[in-house]
């Protein structure tokens, strides 16, 4: 177990290394050595996978158990973690919770982080090793620190991509990891380009608490609804939701919320208070309206058939036909009277047969021919009446009869 032997200060790290006590005491502020030496990091933070330094052996399960059970080894492991935090400009604020904050010299150390991107690989190894050796509670605070610096304060631009791609996903606790993803999704811009988690599930997660709030040694923060909340508060939420069940990660849909609010308002409504119309009320109103429409239709139909009108309704005048239509109608009646029995052989003044009248082409009042005929008939009828009605007239009857024959049978005036 070479990794355990190194932490027990029994062997030096390889190649060309020293004991761990020398590193913890002499390299604490020697930033140049910590930056330029690339062999010690695999020994300080061993993993269960091989690294660049082939002298460093992968961590075994037996070594993991020995690390967790040996108090001396665990103390040196925490000191090594504080050593590397100081190199990056970070200070461990609370050993029990793992909360970290900026160190006094963070500006120069942040500048070194931006200049040397290989430190991103070292931070990823440190986070993984914390999870392997029993310090999982240190993972989330450190990952959260880099998310705040890169996404909120806009510092460490060279670390931003690594923090999203690797730092967050080294956290072993699923709840802490979801909480970090929710925090990153809230502060990432533009949000539509966030590709480290499904947006619909991230929206349903509870907003994360501020750093350091509600996180103690025995606390297990949970970004899901009801998780990590006080017992009374969690029970109240479950009661309001109608008993959704424990650990339900998804809140009810908007439709379910509206339905519950409607049911609650109906229950709170007083018994004698008039509420909204029910389905039966609407059906009754529709039936009443339909009956009224049918009764009105029957009354109007009967009125049209009988020709009756309401008492207060004024009588509508009948449309008057045009003057030409009257004349045509009178001429048609006269022709019917004159064409009675014995009127077929009418004799003129000269004793000859009367020529047949020409066929009528148009009897409509608007037709030009009807207008001409009507005017001719009126003139002929007027002259005949004047000639026959004059007392003692010596004018011969022949010319009048001829004129009547020329005017046709339609122009004969009605005799009294």
Q: 308, 388 in Cβ contact below 8 A?
A: no
Is 43 among the domain residues? yes
- Residue 99 DSSP symbol: -
pLDDT of residue 261: 72
pLDDT range class, residue 389, cuts 50, 70, 90:
very low
pLDDT of residue 330: 76
Is 6 among the domain residues? yes
Is 227 among the domain residues? no
Total number of domains in the chain: 1
Segment 387-408 shows an average pLDDT of 43
Q: Does 133 have pLDDT greater than 90?
A: yes
Domain that holds residue 129: 2-204
- Rounded to 10°, the helix 61-69/71-87 angle is 90
**Bridge partners, 101 (sequence order):** 91
Segment 129-150 shows an average pLDDT of 95
pLDDT tens digits, 96-132: 999 999 999 999 999 999 999 999 999 999 999 999 9
pLDDT of residue 207: 62
Is 175 among the domain residues? yes
Say what the pTM is: 0.52
The residue that leads in pLDDT, 60 or 406, is 60
The residue that leads in pLDDT, 379 or 278, is 278
Q: How far apart are CA 328 and CA 144, in angstroms?
A: 108
Tokens found for residue 112: 């070194």
pLDDT of residue 75: 94
pLDDT of residue 41: 94
The phi, psi pair for 333, rounded to 5°, reads -65, -40
pLDDT of residue 260: 72
pLDDT tens digits, 234-256: 333 333 333 343 334 445 556 66
Q: Which residues neighbour 237 within 8 Å (Cβ) at sequence distance 6 or greater?
A: 225, 226, 229
Q: Does 262 have pLDDT greater than 90?
A: no
Is 188 among the domain residues? yes
Q: Does 79 have pLDDT greater than 50?
A: yes
Q: Give whole-number Cα distances, 18 to 21, 24, 43, 322, in Å.
A: 8, 11, 11, 130
pLDDT of residue 91: 94
pLDDT tens digits, 176-232: 999 999 999 999 999 999 999 999 998 888 665 554 444 443 333 443 333 333 333
> Long-range contact list for 215-219, CB < 8 A, 24+ apart?
215/97, 215/99, 215/141, 216/96, 216/97, 217/96, 217/97, 217/137, 219/97
Q: 349, 398 in Cβ contact below 8 A?
A: yes
Q: Does 365 have pLDDT greater than 60?
A: no
Is 260 among the domain residues? no
pLDDT tens digits, 315-340: 444 455 555 566 667 777 777 766 65
pLDDT of residue 332: 75
Task: Kindly report which listed range (11-15, 168-172, 257-261) carries the lowest average pLDDT score.
Answer: 257-261
Is 70 among the domain residues? yes
The residue that leads in pLDDT, 153 or 410, is 153
Is 346 among the domain residues? no
């Amino acid at each position: 177990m070479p990794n355990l032997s190194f932490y027990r200060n029994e062997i030096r790290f390889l190649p060309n290394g020293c004991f761990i006590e020398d590193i913890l005491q002499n390299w604490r502020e020697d930033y140049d050595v910590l930056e330029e030496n690339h062999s010690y990091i695999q020994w300080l933070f061993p993993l269960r996978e091989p690294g660049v330094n082939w002298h460093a052996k992968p961590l075994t399960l037996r070594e993991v158990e020995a690390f967790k059970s040996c108090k001396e080894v665990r103390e040196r492991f925490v000191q090594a973690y504080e050593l590397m935090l100081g190199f990056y400009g970070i200070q461990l604020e609370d050993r029990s919770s793992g909360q970290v904050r900026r160190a006094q010299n963070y500006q120069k150390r942040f500048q070194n982080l931006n200049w040397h991107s290989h430190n991103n690989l070292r931070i990823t190894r440190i986070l993984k090793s914390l999870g392997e050796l029993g310090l999982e509670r240190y993972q989330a605070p450190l990952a959260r620190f880099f998310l705040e610096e890169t996404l909120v304060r806009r510092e460490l631009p060279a670390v931003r991509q690594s923090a999203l791609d690797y730092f967050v996903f080294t956290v072993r606790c699923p709840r802490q990891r979801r909480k970090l993803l929710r925090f990153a999704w809230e502060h990432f811009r533009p949000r539509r380009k966030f590709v480290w988690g499904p947006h619909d599930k991230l929206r349903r997660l509870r907003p994360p608490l501020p750093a350091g709030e509600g996180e103690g040694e025995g606390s297990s923060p949970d970004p899901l609804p009801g998780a990590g909340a006080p017992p009374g508060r969690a029970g109240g939420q479950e009661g309001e939701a109608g008993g959704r069940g424990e650990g339900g990660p998804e809140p009810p849909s908007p439709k379910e919320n509206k339905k519950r609010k409607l049911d609650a308002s109906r229950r709170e409504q007083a018994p004698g208070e008039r509420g909204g119309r029910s389905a039966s009320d609407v059906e009754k109103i529709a039936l009443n309206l339909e009956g009224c429409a049918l009764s009105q239709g029957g009354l109007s139909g009967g009125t049209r058939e009988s020709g009756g009108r309401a008492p207060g309704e004024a009588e509508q005048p009948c449309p008057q036909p045009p003057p030409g239509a009257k004349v045509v109608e009178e001429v048609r009646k006269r022709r019917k009277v004159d064409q009675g029995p014995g009127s077929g052989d009418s004799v003129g003044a000269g004793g000859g047969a009367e020529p047949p009248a020409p066929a009528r082409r148009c009897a409509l009042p608007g037709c030009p021919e009807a207008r001409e005929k009507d005017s001719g008939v009126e003139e002929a009828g007027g002259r005949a009446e004047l000639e026959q009605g004059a007392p003692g007239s010596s004018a011969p009857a022949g010319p009048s009869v001829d004129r009547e024959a020329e005017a046709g049978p339609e122009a004969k005036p009605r005799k009294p």
